[in-house]
Copies of this chain bind each other. A is one copy, B any other.
Amino acid sequence: MRHLISITDLTTNDINAIFQRTDQILHDGFQPTLAHTVIATLFFEPSTRTRLSFETGILRSGGRVISVTDPAATSTTKGETLEDTVRVISSYVDAIVLRYPEAGAASRAAIVSTVPVINAGDGTGEHPTQSLYDLYTIRQALGRTDHFHIVCLGNLKYYRATRSLVRLLARYPNVTMTFVSAPELAMKTDILDELTQQGINYQVTTNLTSVLPTADVVYQTRMQKEWLSDTEYQRLKDQYIITPSVAAQMKPGAIIMHALPRVNEISPTVDSLPQAYYFKQAALGMPVRAALLQYWLQT
């Protein structure tokens, strides 16, 4: 039995197998390979995309779902620990998809669970399936997962998705990276040190315009009110808004990505442009997560 806590739990072989399975789903439709399984989606924090894409993927694969969407409706309110909750629910089901507000929660759950735990976001920790479908999105848009230039933009200090994606992309040859942000929201040194050690070609700048013409991917991020002070939020939230004139500086075939939800950091007037790839990205989350679960529960 394997758990999926961090993107490092996925080998490149795993990723290739999951992506091939996703290709098959998109080409031939879903097969009921999860028939006879019941999977728990335990969301102790708000979620729209993550929970609903997992659940749809499970249902389209023939599986069934039990769900917790509100911690206030559970025995957590009576003082039960996450460990006890997970230990019991793992005795009912075939896998647990867990979102929890504390970093490390998915690892704690994995220790006591008798079935695979899939981390669907643990606070400032990890969110491996986000990075997985981000990579699949790049593969679909560019036709490759290597030899490209990605610009990560905006809230790089706190944004879990870009942190994890950067770690994943470091496995692939000739991915060059540019981190564009206000200095106080710069990518943290833990990630930059890893990239340096791995010999990855990266640069840090505040100047978006200078790097747009060579970008294959511009990955925009949300200013997270939940992590910023009010004054920081007000000062920083409008610094790197993507408008049609920003998109117009990108080269043909280059794409704009975003993990969503967005607030105002991409203008809705961009949505209909060919560069806008974030809704396609979100749509791909469902088949990639279905493929992951199909693969994970069969191997």
Q: Which residues from 76 to 115 on chain A have a C-beta closer than 8 Å to any C-beta of chain B?
A: 76-80, 83-85, 87-89, 91-93
Contact A263 B69 (CB under 8 A): no
Residue of B nearest to A59 (CB): B64
A260 neighbours in B (Cβ, 8 Å): 75, 80, 84, 88
> Do the beta carbons of B38 and A78 come within 8 Å of each other?
no
Nearest B residue to A56 via CB reads B92
Q: Which residues of B contact A164 (CB under 8 A)?
A: none
- Can you tell how many copies of this chain the complex includes? 3
In the complex, which of the residues B52, B78, B261 contacts A46, with contact meaning CB atoms closer than 8 Å? Answer: B78
Interface residues on A, range: 35 or more
Cα-based distance from A79 to B48 in the complex (angstroms): 12
Q: Which of A141-149, A249-257, A279-287 contacts B (4 or more CB under 8 A)?
A: A279-287
Interface residue? A66 (CB, 8 A): yes
Among A43, A56, A88, A222, the most chain B Cβ lie within 10 Å of the Cβ of: A88
Binary CB contact string for chain A from 47 to 75 against chain B (1 if under 8 A, 0 otherwise): 11100110110011000101011101111
Residue numbers of A with Cβ under 8 A of B are 38, 40, 43, 46-49, 52-53, 55-56, 59-60, 64, 66, 68-70, 72-80, 83-85, 87-89, 91-93, 222, 224-226, 260-263, 268, 279, 282-283, 286
